[in-house]
Chain A
Amino acid sequence: MRDDGFTDFVVEVERPLLRTAYLLTGDHGHAEDLVQTALVKAHRHWAKVRRADSPLAYVRRVLVTSHVSWRRRMSTSEQVIETVPDRPGDDLQERQATTDLVRAALRELSPRVRAVVVLRYFEDLTEAETARVLGCSTSTVSTHAARGLATLRRHLDATADTDTSIYARRTS
């Protein structure tokens, strides 16, 4: 075991972290950048992190807060001010069409709301656990979750109006 277990830790957690990061960012390069950043911070404090009850939870918290921080910083300079999802063409694979749809819907959410949705409904964290990761109250998590789901539903329903086949398959 090298690096006091750090390499083994990375091998174990990189993929789940990348999945979370990909849902937060919707972009492969961005997701890998985010995971790398979180792991560098973990390595900086590795002696402490490895003794934590859940080193993965520590890195996940760094990952999520880094993402929210990046988005906040980017919003002061260059930002997407309007997002109009491409309509999937008939020749696209259905699964690709669905993931494109969900990725576009997630982009409709603010970084914090998106983080709550990902932590609650992908990571299956409780409200209390999500609140600890984001450093906010459980009521805030509850509010964000409700708002996020409503926005997702509204976006997906609106898209369904123009593409009923995808919606029908998705909800079946």
Chain B
Amino acid sequence: MTDVRTLLHDLAADAPRGHGEVTADRVVDLHRAQDRRRLRLAGVAAAIAVVVAAVPALVDRSGPQDAAAVASAGTAEAASLFDAPTRGSLADDADAVTSAREASWGEGIPFRDAGDILDPGPQDRHVAFVGEVPGGQVWALVVGRTGPQLAYAWFVRGETGDGFGWRLVTLPERTFAGLPVALVDGAGEHGPLLVVAMPDEDIDLVPFGDASAGLPEIRSSEVSGGIALVDVDTPASGFSLGYEVAGAVDSPRSTFRPVQFDSTDQGSYGDVVGSIITAVTDEDTGAAVQDCLVSGGLLEAADDGGLTWPYLATDEDAVAFLAAVEACRASAGQGD
């Protein structure tokens, strides 16, 4: 019988060794950076007489870290997309690269609990891809590092609330050294799929799912230098084109599923956040609106006065939520 304990201890011997006091200093720096962000948000809240600044989903995300703290990191041993060169048709366009690197990681999609994902400052971000994808959209993949933590965010260039620029289309997610990432636009009958792996890795596209229902057709694909630009059918229910990456650092060969978004969804999400803030901060009726939303189960009030609202997965959900907010405003006598 296999000795599981022995096998586990053998494997654990390969664990990183740690950095002792350096780790302790970095942890303290991170904690303080999170507190500074809390204070900044609290200040903003006070200025506009709002309680929303205490929303846990906002305050749990730390701001840019001290340069010294981040500089002392760099502990990931395997290569990651953070270290890879910028690729894509606009990789040599300094304006495009700079603007993508500086684009906000916290606006454009609904706030939900980002958990422990930190918010790296622009100086700690790297644009792994920027350029056109099949169909003509311009996408950017930005990878950020906070200590050993790697996270990434996808952006699409187009109209935003502030004009023309980069729009965050997925919530920042963790990633790890050796892992590729991918995004697919599921808006139409077919759309672009972009896979970003390390430059020396090969990418295989792998349709999967219920073959009797028809696997997605790959209309075109261009795979080179760890980048796959694909035009692929969008199945009626769920996406079923994965990708395999060969050559990843000491990792098993795996099939991944891309993150999916809808490029036609210009998002009522920003409206949701703004609508809530406007509604609950009204000097005369804000408290009544908040009570209405809380009693209706649309908001949750924490003990510290913060408010949270549910994750709105679709634009329809956001529209419905907005309608409910308006109903509470009307009942409280706010009216437009």
Contacts and interface: CB of A to CB of B under 8 A. Distances in A.
Interface of A: 3, 6-7, 9-11, 14-15, 18-23, 25, 27-33, 35-37, 39-40, 43-44, 66, 69-70, 73-74, 77-86, 95, 98-100, 102-104, 106-107, 117-118, 121-122, 124, 149, 152-153, 156, 170-171
A85 to B, nearest CB: 4
Nearest to A21: B15
Contact of A10 (B20, B30, B34, B147): B20
A89 to B, nearest CB: 12
B106 interface: no
B250 A40 contact: no
Interface in B66-123: 75-78, 80, 115-116
B31 A44 contact: yes
A29 B177 contact: yes
A22 B181 contact: no
B254 A84 contact: yes
Interface stretch (B3-11, B39-47, B263-271, B319-327): B3-11
In order of increasing CB-CB distance, the 7 nearest A-B pairs are: A29-B76, A22-B15, A32-B148, A10-B24, A14-B18, A19-B12, A7-B24
Indicate the size class of the contact surface on chain B. Answer: 35 or more
A64 B129 CA distance: 33
B256 A78 contact: yes
B242 interface: yes
Contacts of A15: 15, 17-18
13 contacts: A3-B24, A14-B19, A14-B23, A18-B16, A25-B176, A28-B16, A31-B16, A77-B170, A81-B255, A82-B242, A84-B254, A117-B4, A152-B4
B2 A83 contact: no
Interface of B: 1-5, 7-12, 14-21, 23-28, 30-31, 34, 75-78, 80, 115-116, 147-150, 170, 173-174, 176-178, 181-182, 208, 242, 250-259
Given A22-B15, A77-B259, A102-B11, A10 B21 contact: yes
Nearest to A79: B257
A78 B2 CA distance: 33
Contacts of B181: 78
